[in-house]
Amino acid sequence: MRITAFLDIPGQDNLTPLARLEKYAFSDNIFNRQIIARGLLDVFRDFSNNEEDFLTVMEIVVRLSEDAEPTVRTELMEQIPPIAIFLQESRPKFPTAFFEYLMPIVVRYLTDVNNQVRKAGQEALLILLEQDLVAQSDIENKVCPILLDLSAPDSDDEYKVEAVNIICKMASMLSRTTVERVLLPRFCELCSDGKLFQVRKICAANFGDICNAVGQEATERLLIPKFFELCSDSVWGMRKACAECFMAVSYTTSPEVRRSKLSPLFISLISDTCRWVRQAAFQSLGPFISTFANPSSAGLYIREDGTLSIRPSPQDVTSNSCQANNNINFMSSSTNVASSSSEQPMEIKRESWTEETSAEVNTVLSVKNLNKDTWEASSDCCTNPAEDLTRLSQGDSVAAGVIEVIKDSNFPGMNSRLQSAEDVFNTFLYWRPPLPDISQDLELLQFKSEKHKDSCSVQCNNCVASSEIKKVLESLQEHIDDPDVQAQVQVLSAALRAAQFDSVSEYETKKIESRGKLQNETTVSDEATISDATCSQVEEDALLSHASQDDISEQSATSILKSADIIPQPLLDQYLSMTDPARAQTVDTEIAKHCAYSLPGVALTLGRQNWHCLKDTYETLASDVQWKVRRTLAFSIHELAVILGDQLTAADLVPIFNGFLKDLDEVRIGVLKHLYDFLKLLHADKRREYLYQLQEFVVTDNSRNWRFRYELAEQLILILELYNPNDVYDYLRHIALTLCSDKVSEVRWISFKLVVAILQKFYANNANALGLNFINELVVRFRHCSKWVGRQAFAFICQAAVQEECMPVDQFVEHLLPSLLSLASDPVPNVRVLLAKALRQTLLEKAYFKSVGNPHLEAAEETVLALQSDRDQDVSFFATIKLKQNNMDNTSIEKQN
């Protein structure tokens, strides 16, 4: 019934409905005016057919908006958004009604003297913006000036707080140009408001939304300085709010700003004197680290639907350069790659080459002969998304050799470039773990420096050959405009000239031979296929001291170590410390849970080649005494398996996965929900080991936890494709039949679908003998069951088998149809009801049974005729009528039974 239905009652006061509306709208009784305001939408619908009456109603609304009673104005404002939507639908009739009559009311209520009315006006404005019912011109010319006046320095404190709040919420709904030109200057002023900490707190809480609204350039130019001020605010609430929105701010900045400015700032927050600030910072630490992520360096790629997936072939990835995308959209699950149970969409902006590091000049080489084992298990190689990199053995120190060659060649300006290497932005990265022990190489260099005073050669185990450097230089020519690329070209050109010097003399040849002996004594990784390379040599000053040699070696080692710095080391150290028991006492009792929640995101950022940094932390979390921590890991272990690849998964995750299988039900459910996703990542032999363990899921700590068994049945339907028919028959068949006899009907019904899927598996793989054995078992187990529930289940299985076409028709009519038709004489009406539905809605609708001369059609029709004359009304009803709904969805009656 409409709220204003009393307006339609004839003869009560001899007034027309419009006159009666006006009478009650301006009545002395406040309740009457409230009723009119509350029912305005129905009033507009009633009078929308007549333009004159419609305009009269509009004038009444305008007068009613000036009512002295705040509750009336509040009721009126709450009706503005639905009325605006109605007017938008009726726009051809009243194209300007909203902007001429209602929009001024909304703007006026933003400055109403009553707090409740103002809040109603603010909520209505946000709804109108969300529905895109307000033009951008009206926002700039009518709404924004009001908000700027209310947020002025000399404005009333209460109005200013409300204006700041509405500005922050509006930012994400307006165009970038409007926000940057109109609202951003005022927002920057409010961030420094020294009068009200509430204003600064609102700015800090919504800082990430503002950054996202204005984009990277404005964020780095105007907002980052303000963000630094808020992070050092004297009020701890401001610093806490900044820590909570740190990830959103980081996404909007460039890699160099993220690394050089935001990382030290975050370290200051995580070391704050206030416990609540530290707690918020640690909760945001993992998400902040994930903003450094570059999935291509982890051997992964983003599908079109936004899901993270492993590359189809490591060999293909090795032979072809990884193409860097401009934007990668993650869609928590997740998982937030962080977790499949709660996932926040993320957008990671990547530069056209790679992320920034503070490392010195990196040598770019081409990847060769990198087999699958090396890709996933070796910790000293990785691919760059812009160029191919060379697979180096453990004894290599190529970067050291190149830097030494250049520094010792007396090229103009080259030493100064190396000295200021920390200020150089490198567009090429080579991720690798710390260098192996090169003390033997250093001793050899010192020995040669003392022996040969006229000239010496800078030694390296496997230096870059001239041809390799030429290839790299050729690939850089198309990007020569980039200053950073020019720096790389200068470095590599110097190395090339050094490698092309005059041929070595006799005593230098002896040195090469002695170096070859040393290489034979050095352990080289099995995957290395680089042949013995000739050492690049260059003339240098004979008075090169022992200290200079040590400095060069130390600098080259530092270069490679810094190139592996995917994320700032202090951030990683703080993240790894989250498992420290002392943190639970001084920061947050659930800090380990936050660490576990964000671990997949951190693993994605570091890449599989740096998994060793997180391995111990993951094992510590997996054995945590809090089941909530283990549950969090269980829900995300399948995502981590995608990140690490099959070899690391088998080595490090499978043991933990096995432990989760024996854990509490609260932990096991996390594994079970993504059981198929995890098993499909394993090798076939490893996957087969879990066939017997799947039966353990049937047993739960609490028998009333039926949803656990329901989830098991759903997962088994998916898991069928991972195993051959013999394994399905030997192991999964028993589980399916056990679930079909469950005490809970929901579990039984999903298990019947599992049985049909197993039949389909057998016949799709030409395992007809297994299918026939399974059919015979179904007939014995269900058709001849002493309980009517079993016989009803048999009817449903037959119906589903026909509908899903999981087996040949001739097999069905020979082995299942006679047993199905015999249910017509079952004494329980519920069984006959499902039989009637199976015959009438499914079986007789198939083309096979519609064909003329079908020998089985007559028997089926006779059974249907018998059911139509059944003494039970429900049986006769379903045998007669042919429902249009999908028969697989019409199971509500059976479930109730």
Three-state secondary structure readout of 90-136: CCCCCCCHHHHHHHHHHHHHCCCCCHHHHHHHHHHHHHHHHCCCCCH
pLDDT for 7 equals 60
Is the pLDDT score of 628 beyond 90?
yes
Nearest-angstrom CA–CA distance, 876 and 123: 56
Going by pLDDT thresholds of 50, 70 and 90, the confidence category of residue 471 is low
pLDDT for 853 equals 64
**Contacts with 92 (C-beta within 8 Å, 6 or more apart), sequence order:** none
What is the per-residue burial (b if ≥16 Cβ within 10 Å, else e) of 723-732? Answer: bebeebbebb
Tokens 């592996």: give the residue.
564
**Bigger pLDDT: 256 or 454?**
256
- Ranking 42-46, 128-132, 310-314 by mean pLDDT, the lowest is 310-314
pLDDT for 294 equals 75
**Bigger pLDDT: 9 or 823?**
823
Phi (first) and psi of residue 588, to 5 degrees: -155, 135
**Bigger pLDDT: 49 or 687?**
687
pLDDT for 195 equals 83
Is the pLDDT score of 749 beyond 60?
yes
- The pair of structure tokens assigned to 167 is 């500005």
Going by pLDDT thresholds of 50, 70 and 90, the confidence category of residue 45 is confident
pLDDT for 227 equals 95
Amino acid at 604: L
What percent of the chain is predicted at pLDDT more than 90? Answer: 44
Question: Which 3 state secondary structure label does DSSP give 799?
Answer: helix
**Bigger pLDDT: 119 or 407?**
119
**Contacts with 258 (C-beta within 8 Å, 6 or more apart), sequence order:** 250, 291, 292
Question: Which 3 state secondary structure label does DSSP give 328?
Answer: strand
Going by pLDDT thresholds of 50, 70 and 90, the confidence category of residue 353 is very low
Question: Which 3 state secondary structure label does DSSP give 35?
Answer: helix
DSSP for 858-892 reads: HHHHHHHHHHHT-SSHHHHHHHH----S-TTT--H
Tokens 């829900």: give the residue.
635
Question: Which 3 state secondary structure label does DSSP give 196?
Answer: coil
857-868 vs 873-880: helix crossing angle, rounded to 10 = 140
Nearest-angstrom CA–CA distance, 655 and 791: 43
pLDDT for 13 equals 60
Going by pLDDT thresholds of 50, 70 and 90, the confidence category of residue 447 is low
Render pLDDT for 558-567 as a digit per residue (tens, 0 to 9): 333 333 478 8
Is the pLDDT score of 725 beyond 80?
yes
- Ranking 171-185, 315-329, 358-372 by mean pLDDT, the lowest is 358-372
pLDDT for 844 equals 81
pLDDT for 446 equals 58
Render pLDDT for 578-627 as a digit per residue (tens, 0 to 9): 999 988 888 888 999 999 999 999 999 998 889 999 999 999 999 999 99
Is the pLDDT score of 131 beyond 50?
yes
Amino acid at 246: F
Average pLDDT, the chain: 75
Going by pLDDT thresholds of 50, 70 and 90, the confidence category of residue 756 is very high
Question: Which 3 state secondary structure label does DSSP give 329?
Answer: strand
**Bigger pLDDT: 260 or 856?**
260
pLDDT for 300 equals 61
24 alpha-carbon distance from chain centroid: 55
Going by pLDDT thresholds of 50, 70 and 90, the confidence category of residue 442 is low
Is the pLDDT score of 376 beyond 90?
no
Render pLDDT for 547-585 as a digit per residue (tens, 0 to 9): 333 443 443 333 333 334 788 999 999 999 999 998 888
Tokens 């009206």: give the residue.
138
pLDDT for 222 equals 94
Is the pLDDT score of 281 beyond 80?
yes
Is the pLDDT score of 405 beyond 60?
no
- The pair of structure tokens assigned to 558 is 């530092």
pLDDT for 753 equals 94
Is the pLDDT score of 322 beyond 50?
no
- Ranking 86-100, 586-600, 696-710 by mean pLDDT, the lowest is 86-100
Going by pLDDT thresholds of 50, 70 and 90, the confidence category of residue 732 is very high
- The pair of structure tokens assigned to 102 is 């209602």
pLDDT for 620 equals 95
Highest mean pLDDT among 30-34, 380-384, 678-682: 678-682
- The pair of structure tokens assigned to 727 is 């394994």
**Contacts with 513 (C-beta within 8 Å, 6 or more apart), sequence order:** none
Tokens 């990382």: give the residue.
263
Is the pLDDT score of 655 beyond 90?
yes
**Bigger pLDDT: 530 or 802?**
802
Highest mean pLDDT among 182-196, 403-417, 536-550: 182-196
List of long-range contacts for 500-506, beta carbons under 8 Å, 24+ apart: 500/466, 501/537, 501/538, 501/539, 504/457, 504/537
Nearest CA among 460, 481, 300, 266 for reference residue 365: 460
- Under 8 Å between Cβ of 398 and 363: yes
Span 661-665, average pLDDT: 92
Render pLDDT for 10-20 as a digit per residue (tens, 0 to 9): 555 667 778 88
Going by pLDDT thresholds of 50, 70 and 90, the confidence category of residue 146 is very high
Amino acid at 480: I
Nearest-angstrom CA–CA distance, 587 and 578: 9
Nearest-angstrom CA–CA distance, 537 and 272: 53
Nearest-angstrom CA–CA distance, 567 and 548: 31
Span 794-821, average pLDDT: 90
Render pLDDT for 170-222 as a digit per residue (tens, 0 to 9): 998 988 999 999 999 999 999 988 888 899 999 999 999 999 999 999 999 99
Going by pLDDT thresholds of 50, 70 and 90, the confidence category of residue 856 is confident
pLDDT for 97 equals 83
**Contacts with 855 (C-beta within 8 Å, 6 or more apart), sequence order:** none
**Bigger pLDDT: 6 or 251?**
251
Its pTM surpasses 0.75:
no
